[in-house]
Structure 1
Amino acid sequence: MLFQRFLTAGALALALPLCAHRACAHEGTGRHGGRLAEAGPYHIELVTKDKTVEVIIYDAKEKAVSPAGFKGTAILVVGGKPARVVLAPAEARLTGEAGVPLGPNPKGVVQITGPDGAAASGKFN
């Protein structure tokens, strides 16, 4: 258990600086009321409700992209500790459940991997 926490904290520590030098800027509010960030060639919208995490993927022209073939991980800070949430396609988004309530605007990183195997991440402050 301690090793898993250490590994998750390490992943978060490594992922956050990656976005610092990229264009992972916070861009405002998305169509579903979540926050937007750039993630490689995509824009992603992060919506959290209680323990549920939803990520909607858009292309560069803000058109929704089918989540089929995508997978992801959200590493969000809750109460000073990282909460790792595995995301899988469901309807028009990636979704997953955290072990703890997240609140409406948790900080952290969402990492997505596309059908082509290319990975990208977006930072949420």
Structure 2
Amino acid sequence: MLIRRFLTAGTLAVALPFCAHHACAHEGTGHNGGRIADAGPYHIELVTRDRRVEVTIYDAKEKAVAPAGFKGTAILVVGGKPARVVLAPSGAGLAGEAEVALGASPKGVVQITGPNGAAASGKFN
């Protein structure tokens, strides 16, 4: 019984720093003033202004990835209802327009699909 407790505690001690690092490693403000989330092998930055949604995609080294070949969808909660925004390459990232004003920090998910067809998503709380 003592060995089981030790192994469980040891497993948690090893797992917690890893999970905690990934859960909050990229929270905060991004290069464009938006919020950052992990999305598969990428980091994505979400910026909302009125109805406009802008998403910048970064690689693991925090360098912006060209948006050519990417597409995406933002599903953001506004007034308790989901607002679905189709995202397409625009400038240095992906962008789209919502049907309603979103506010500065809506909660939701951004799903992206890369040129190779692989999909990833990032959650914004």
TM-score (norm 1): 0.80
Residues 24 and 123 of structure 1 are in contact (CA less than 8 Å); yes or no, is this contact kept in structure 2?
A: no
- Counterpart position of 1:66: 66
Residues 24 and 122 of structure 1 are in contact (CA less than 8 Å); yes or no, is this contact kept in structure 2?
A: no
* Offset of residue 24 of structure 1: 6.1
- Counterpart position of 1:14: none
CA distance in 2, matches of 1:53, 1:24: 23
RMSD (Å) for aligned C-alpha atoms: 1.1
3-state SS of 1:105 partner = coil
- Counterpart position of 2:75: 75
Q: List structure 1 segments (4+ residues) > 3 angstroms apart after TM superposition.
A: 23-26
3-state SS of 1:27 partner = coil
1:34-56 deviations in whole A, cap 9, x for unaligned?
Answer: 00000000000000000000000
- Counterpart position of 2:18: none
- Counterpart position of 2:121: 121
For structure 2, list consecutive stretches of 5 or more residues without a partner in the other structure: 1-21
1:63-115 deviations in whole A, cap 9, x for unaligned?
Answer: 00000000000000000000000000011010000000000000000000000
Q: Name the structure, 1 or 2, with higher relative contact order (CA <8 Å, separation 6+).
A: 1
Q: Percent identity between the aligned chains?
A: 80
TM-score (norm 2): 0.80
- Counterpart position of 2:45: 45
Which of the two has higher C-alpha Rg?
A: 2
CA distance in 1, matches of 2:56, 2:70: 11
- Counterpart position of 1:8: none
- Count of aligned pairs: 103
CA distance in 2, matches of 1:79, 1:27: 24
- Counterpart position of 2:97: 97
CA distance in 2, matches of 1:75, 1:60: 24
CA distance in 2, matches of 1:105, 1:115: 28
3-state SS of 1:96 partner = strand
Q: Does 1:109 align with 2:123?
A: no
Residues 73 and 86 of structure 1 are in contact (CA less than 8 Å); yes or no, is this contact kept in structure 2?
A: yes
Change (3 A) 1:51 1:83: same
3-state SS of 1:28 partner = coil
